[in-house]
Amino acid sequence: MIHSAPPMVVVGLLFGIGLYGVLARRNAILVLIGVELMLAAAGLLFVTVGSLTSDSLRAGQIMTIFVINIAAAEIAVALGVILAIFRARGNIDMAQAGERE
Amino acid sequence: MTTYDVLFTIAGAISVAAALLAVSTKHLVHSALWLIVSLAALCGCYLVLGAEFVALVQLLVYVGAVVVLVLFALMLTRAPIGRSPEHDTSLVQRAAALVVGAATAALLSAVLISAYGNSEQRVNGGGTHVLATRLFGSWVWPFELLSALLLIALVAALALARLPIGRRGATEGVPK
């Protein structure tokens, strides 16, 4: 038996912290770390709801596996883009994104 | 308070604290290392909730692959070792981000708690056997689609790495 409130609070806190990381960071890789935290919060919500309800399809856990999979694909492409930007501009500062050298 | 509650609260507190450090530390490399702690503690949360396969996938994919990739990217973009204040955002932006983040956290927690209540519920994680049956039964087509997505991401990352760009026209070492 588990209370359903603590997982929900952890989900909310992780998502809020990830959002703070996305908004408050200037290094593009640190922004990605914030995105990872938000995706982790989404996965925890899926698993929590899947475990607290009786679901014969096990959608909660399987969706989390899918989210982890998509996050891995996303981070590979995103880091490729960041490295291309670094080669082109010499920095990955989000504050200078969109400016021409 | 049950044993599940205590264990989940410990793992969740570690995860949240490490996430907080990951987004607030000034050391770029420490940020990625705190992300490892946060995601590993989240893996403990999954274990408490009875999702042992998801916990192992989380540990293998995130801690084993994604964070190593992030560390490699930090290294390749010449991340400075030690504090790097030149990438700090302004105090106003950080304060605004803090307000938005805290408001989102509060809103999300309140909505989720009001949606699911705070009742004691049985943890019904199922077993890995049921999960495998479902994954390769009902969910087999999305699963195959995701393998195609991984292949596309692989090709896209490779194409991005071979883009003929260089800083200010310098193209040495870039394949034509």
Give one DSSP letter per residue of chain A, joined into a string: -EESHHHHHHHHHHHHHHHHHHHH--BHHHHHHHHHHHHHHHHHHHHHHHHHS--TT-HHHHHHHHHHHHHHHHHHHHHHHHHHHHHHHS--BGGGTT---
Give the gap in angstroms from C-alpha A98 to the nearest C-alpha of chain B.
16
Question: In this complex, which of A10, A82, A93 lies closest to B73 when CB atoms are compared?
Answer: A82
Average pLDDT for chain A: 89
Residue A22 located in a structural domain = yes
Looking at residue A80, which CATH number applies to its domain? 1.10.287.3510
The C-alpha atoms of residue A80 and residue B31 are separated, in whole angstroms, by 20
B-interface mutation test, from A8, A64, A96, most B Cβ less than 10 A away:
A8
Residue A101 located in a structural domain = no
pLDDT in tens, B108-165: 999 999 988 888 888 877 788 888 999 999 999 999 999 999 999 999 999 998 888 7
Give the gap in angstroms from C-alpha B83 to the nearest C-alpha of chain A.
13
Residue A77 located in a structural domain = yes
Q: At B168, is the pLDDT very low, low, confident or very high (cuts 50, 70, 90)?
A: low
Who wins on pLDDT, B95 or B169?
Answer: B95
pTM of the model: 0.90
Which residue segment(s) compose the domain that A61 sits in? 5-95
Q: Indicate yes or no: CB of B149 within 8 angstroms of CB of A70.
A: yes
pLDDT in tens, A31-41: 999 999 999 99
Q: Indicate yes or no: CB of A77 within 8 angstroms of CB of B157.
A: yes
Residue A18 located in a structural domain = yes
In this prediction, residue A101 carries a pLDDT of: 58
Q: Are B48 and B4 contacting, i.e. CB atoms less than 8 angstroms apart? A: yes
Q: Indicate yes or no: CB of B22 within 8 angstroms of CB of A37.
A: yes
Residues of chain B in contact with residue A26, where contact means CB-CB under 8 angstroms, are: 87-89
Tell me the count of A-B CB pairs closer than 8 A.
279
Q: Are A38 and A70 contacting, i.e. CB atoms less than 8 angstroms apart? A: no
The residue-averaged pLDDT of B56-68 equals 90
In this prediction, residue B167 carries a pLDDT of: 59
Q: How many CB atoms lie within 10 A of CB B115?
A: 10
In this prediction, residue A2 carries a pLDDT of: 84
What residues of chain B, 90 to 149, have a C-beta less than 8 Å from chain A? 93-94, 96-98, 100-110, 112-113, 116-126, 130-131, 134-135, 138-139, 142-143, 146, 149
Residue A100 located in a structural domain = no
- Chain B CA closest to residue A24: B94
